[in-house]
A = this chain, B = another copy of it.
Amino acid sequence: MSDYKAPLDEIKFLRNEVLDFPNHYKNLPGFEEATPELENAILEEAAKLAENVIAPLNKVGDQQGCTLKDGVVTTPEGFKEAYQQYVAGGWPSLSAPENWGGQGLPASMETAVSEIFGQANHAWNMYPGLVTGAKATILEHGSDEQQKNYLPKLVNGEWLATMCLTEAHCGSDLGMLKTKAEPQADGSYKISGTKIFISSGDHDLAENIIHIVLARLPDAPAGTKGISLFIVPKFTLDKEGNAGERNAVNCGSLEHKMGIHGNATCVMNFDGATGYLIGPENRGLNCMFTFMNFARIGVTLEGFCHIERAYQGAVAYAKDRLQMRALSGPKNPEGPADPILVHPDVRRMLLTIKSFAEAGRAFIHYETQVADRARYSKDEEERKKADELLSLLTPIGKAFTTEVAIESCSLGMQVFGGHGYIAEWGMEQNFRDARITAIYEGTTGIQALDLIGRKVLKTGGELLKAFTVEVLDFCDTCDTDLNEFTQVIKDRIKGWEEITGYIGGKAMENVEEVGASSVDYLMYSGYLCYAYFWLRMMKVANDKIKSGDNSDFNQSKMNTGRFYFQRIMPRCDLHISCIKS
């Protein structure tokens, strides 16, 4: 696991050949210069930093964790220096607007970079990772002055950020939030309350931390309609806009948790801290959704990153570890035993992981392409459609990818046998770190309710319909030699429509039915989405093979895709059975 290699060939194949990013960027106003050459150069630089600097800190972070002493949080050895290199390399500003000092590249290109940093070190990447959502929130909802105050230093990486939602008594149910905000004569607010589970809540990487905090104004309505959003910097700004006086926001304690030890998960105490309202009063939750949607896509990426690491670790071990002979006779007769890769059950585990890793990559890059269109397209109708599609994909990607990430990381450990349970090999850390992704930023159960309730039933199935039309249209572009696979997709789309109708009907009789079926519905949706992305990858590989490029790479795509359709897709039936029972 220490030998992380950025999967550049996979990323290039997917972005250049499957999802046609070159053409996507050509049609995206302002991003015409985002050529594959530029992207490749960027990804190669990212790979160097990730492989040489950030990945080696992954185990260090797990073993040392963060410490809190005399109110000061210290990150593991090397984390700060790695962050300094990251800033020096200009990575924080990649996709930020040029008027705030950014490089003005498309956000989807940042996703490709984040894949690499996220695979290298989940816990470390969470520190810069949260800034994307904070910047977007300030850009979208902040006043001119707030943008001027905070964006330049968030963009250049001098400062970092957090999102402060959860309190001890409320996680999924933010309506119960208690943190108070009292207006002051100067237009600022005094923020008082305690937030828990704050990722990157305090640390020594940056000179200031900008907390984006949900709190309640005096006499605000009860529930979610009485929540406002505030900017609370760790250091309030001096006249020059630099970090000035220490604000009354402190890390009360660090959580002891299963994984991501290198990230400081803090209990944050706001003791009358100075804060600034961002967006309209009592509309804080809506503003925070800008941040949360970024965070959910970010967690989808994190989940996928762990699948890739599970695969890299397990396949290397399976080629190396000699144990027993193949059932059909020795495959390595010179050696004392065969590599365990020859054992069919080991191959089953590896192919399961690989099939999720590659479809997971396709999902996240596709999603970020849709997000580009939603944000940057010149055509309003296209922006709207893309935004709707993104809102459908977000809960599926978040919950499904993280659930199959957990499965993949567990299988990755299993391939190692007893060695998988030992810290030395990194597979158990990979599992522990991955496990949070199905919990934070909305559990699988919460995502499933969002999908079936808000995104499907509430829209009368319109969003779903639009996506299935796209998928079916794509099936029609495939050659008949892929019929075996397009047929599976067509059947599953019919099944998707049926169970949607079934749940919709049941919901009228008994709304609890929606809740009982929601996770099965989400998982069905996820398997189908991944099948769509497998078909897209297989179409490219199949065309190349037919035109004579019979490389291992292309053959592997066909084999893994076939495995996915044959061995993984039958899981859809199980989810239908559960929904109907």
Contacts and interface: CB of A to CB of B under 8 A. Distances in A.
Interface of A: 166, 169-173, 176, 196-197, 255-259, 322-324, 326-328, 336-337, 343-348, 406, 410, 413-414, 417-418, 420-424, 428, 431-432, 435-436, 438-440, 443-445, 448-449, 510-516, 518-519, 566-567, 570-571, 573-574, 577-578, 581
A514 B516 CA distance: 37
A166 B418 CA distance: 10
Contacts of A431: 258, 435
A516 B345 contact: yes
A-B interface, 5 closest residue pairs, ranked by CB to CB distance from nearest: A344-B515, A570-B577, A344-B516, A258-B428, A256-B423
Contact of A518 (B345, B448, B513): B345
A444 B518 contact: no
Nearest to A563: B581
B323 A417 contact: no
Contact of A578 (B173, B518, B567): B567
B328 A256 contact: no
Contacts of A578: 567, 570
Contacts of A418: 166, 171, 196-197, 439-440
Contact of A439 (B255, B346, B420, B519): B420
A293 B395 CA distance: 46
Number of copies of this chain that the complex holds = 2
20 contacts: A171-B417, A171-B418, A255-B422, A255-B423, A257-B421, A257-B422, A257-B423, A258-B428, A259-B421, A326-B512, A327-B515, A328-B512, A344-B515, A345-B516, A347-B516, A414-B439, A417-B439, A421-B436, A421-B440, A428-B435
A349 to B, nearest CB: 8
Contact of A421 (B406, B435, B570): B435
Contacts of A444: 414
A255 B348 CA distance: 29
A343 B570 contact: no
A322 B175 CA distance: 12
Given A414-B438, A421-B436, 14 more contacts: A169-B322, A172-B417, A196-B418, A257-B423, A327-B511, A345-B449, A345-B518, A417-B443, A421-B435, A428-B435, A570-B573, A570-B581, A571-B574, A573-B577
Nearest to A427: B258
A439 B346 CA distance: 14
A225 to B, nearest CB: 15
A346 B414 contact: no
Contacts of A196: 418
Contacts of A423: 255-258
A38 to B, nearest CB: 39
A516 B431 CA distance: 25
B176 A510 contact: no
A512 B341 CA distance: 13
A447 to B, nearest CB: 11
Contacts of A438: 414
Given A439-B417, A516-B348, A574 B570 contact: yes
Contacts of A571: 574
A566 B439 CA distance: 27
A513 B440 CA distance: 40
Contacts of A413: 435, 439
A172 B323 contact: yes
A328 B77 CA distance: 51
A413 to B, nearest CB: 7
B323 A171 contact: yes
A166, A255, A258: which has the most chain B beta carbons within 10 Å? A258
Contacts of A443: 414, 417
Nearest to A340: B172
B327 A512 contact: yes
Contacts of A516: 344-345, 347-348
A173, A196, A418, A431: which has the most chain B beta carbons within 10 Å? A418
Given A444-B414, A518-B345, A439 B422 contact: no
A566 B578 CA distance: 7
A331 to B, nearest CB: 11
Contacts of A343: 445, 515
Nearest to A510: B328
A326 B511 CA distance: 9
A178 to B, nearest CB: 10
A566 B577 CA distance: 8
Nearest to A578: B567
B176 A336 contact: yes
Contact of A519 (B197, B256, B345, B514): B345
Nearest to A259: B421
A515 B171 contact: no
Contacts of A172: 323-324, 417
A346 B172 CA distance: 13
A510 B443 CA distance: 44
Contacts of A170: 323
Nearest to A196: B418
A234 B342 CA distance: 40
A306 B19 CA distance: 45
A344, A435, A511, A518: which has the most chain B beta carbons within 10 Å? A344
Contacts of A406: 410
A420 B515 CA distance: 21
